[in-house]
Amino acid sequence: MGFKEALFNGLAPDGGLYLPEFIPEFGADFFKADMSYPELASAMIQPFVSDDISDTMLMSITESAFNFDISLISLSENINSLELFYGPTLAFKDFAARFTARCMEQLLNDDITVLVATSGDTGSAVANGFFEIEGIRVVILYPSGRISPIQEKQLTTLGNNITALEVDGNFDDCQRMVKDAFLDENLREKRALSSANSINIARLLPQSVYYAWAWKQVYNGNSVLFSVPSGNFGNLNGGLLAKRMGLPVKKLIAATNVNDVFPKYLKNGEIKPQISKRTLSNAMDVGTPSNLDRIIKLYNGDLTAMREDLVSWSCSDEETRMLIKNTKEKYDYIADPHTAVGLSGLQKYFEKYGADYTGIVLATAHPGKFAEIVEPLINEKITIPDKLKNASLKEKFSTMIPNKYSSLKEYLLET
């Protein structure tokens, strides 16, 4: 299947996830070359999309999608924070959502409905990424009462082609309802559906690029580690893809909160899906991470090979609070709860294997998005960026539905 088909299908017809059939390999020289962010993105993504997107079009997509800052901050000799939160919704998901929206805009034939389940940040990133894009209606499902007030405002206040459904359930319910819609042929005959969840392959590709960008900033011969705050494992998959493409990375650390399916799997080879538990890092409250299948497939189920590239630890809310506090005291740096989970992963790695590495933590959200958690821990007011303030002043507009697939179907057919 070509990129275009996989992009609009979202999920494969058999319910599985798409992976590239072939992963190109670049030499170390490629990763050391001097390139702008959009140039690097175009070069890394081009081999996956070249059948459907010309080089010129790809360059214009990456220039318009990645038109905001990215920054690598050194906290100490071996700890760096890769700040991925300068897009419109102040979370790393803007990279993927903006890229996906622009690919769809360019390749669209007929009107479509984009369905998204969100545990917080996906919804707002997708809503903003697709806002006012002609021919695409976006329907976002989010778990009622389980996302932060500001996250809710960010995805319920845009209007235009964006609608928000407030589901009486948890994130796993939302995700299951979206999956059911994709498997419902009767619905799909009547409504052209597409997904922009982290299951969409177009979301994964751009998430490999910032690993290479960060590596360029720090490379000095030292082994490089990335610690990735993980929930649905889309971001981590981006890192694994970059490593497969030849980026010299020693290890990727999958840092989770107490939703710890993956650390347990790496340890004993068993996948035990869980009911998602609520934590301070709510965008990572995923009991059954859908991208796990992709990781397993990338390694053909070889746990030993997987353990060569990956380690994984879980982090409690108590540790998360401690890390936010200590990071401020020690490094005068403010981490949001997700980034703090990433910092804990790196800390555990250093404790176990020594600190003779260059560690990079993916800072996935601006701390201002979680001010009510962070401010009391650091005894300081966080400067809230204007983008965030503006959303919080607008009126919420959403439709409440029960956590049943039939309710979603009814809604989609009636509107």
Applying CB under 6 A, the residues found at the interface with ligand PLP are 91, 93, 120-121, 198, 229-236, 283-284, 338, 364-365
* Nearer to ligand PLP (CB atom), residue 191 or residue 368: 368
Q: Which residue is nearest to ligand PLP (CB)?
A: 121
Structure tokens at 246: 């030849």
Structure tokens at 332: 């005068």
Taking the complex as a whole, the smallest distance from the CB of residue 283 to ligand PLP amounts, in Å, to 3
Q: Which residues carry out catalysis?
A: 93
Taking the complex as a whole, the smallest distance from the CB of residue 65 to ligand PLP amounts, in Å, to 17
* Nearer to ligand PLP (CB atom), residue 53 or residue 378: 378
* Nearer to ligand PLP (CB atom), residue 42 or residue 200: 200
Amino acid in position 412: L
* Nearer to ligand PLP (CB atom), residue 211 or residue 412: 211
Q: Which phi and psi (to 5°) does residue 253 adopt?
A: -105, 115
Taking the complex as a whole, the smallest distance from the CB of residue 184 to ligand PLP amounts, in Å, to 25
How many residues does this entry show for the chain?
415
3-class DSSP string for 317-373: HHHHHHHHHHHHHHHCCCCCHHHHHHHHHHHHHHHHHCCCCEEEEEECECHHHHHHH
Residue for token pair 């981590």: 236
Taking the complex as a whole, the smallest distance from the CB of residue 89 to ligand PLP amounts, in Å, to 9
* Nearer to ligand PLP (CB atom), residue 93 or residue 328: 93
In angstroms, the CA 223 to CA 127 distance is 38
Using alpha carbons, select from 314, 385, 313, 371 the residue that is nearest to residue 337.
Answer: 371
Taking the complex as a whole, the smallest distance from the CB of residue 391 to ligand PLP amounts, in Å, to 15
DSSP letter at 246 equals T
The kind and range of the H/E element at 62 are helix 55-65
Pairing of strands 310-314, 136-143: unpaired
How far are the Cα atoms of 147, 229, 331, 408 from residue 324, in angstroms, in the given order? 20, 14, 11, 39
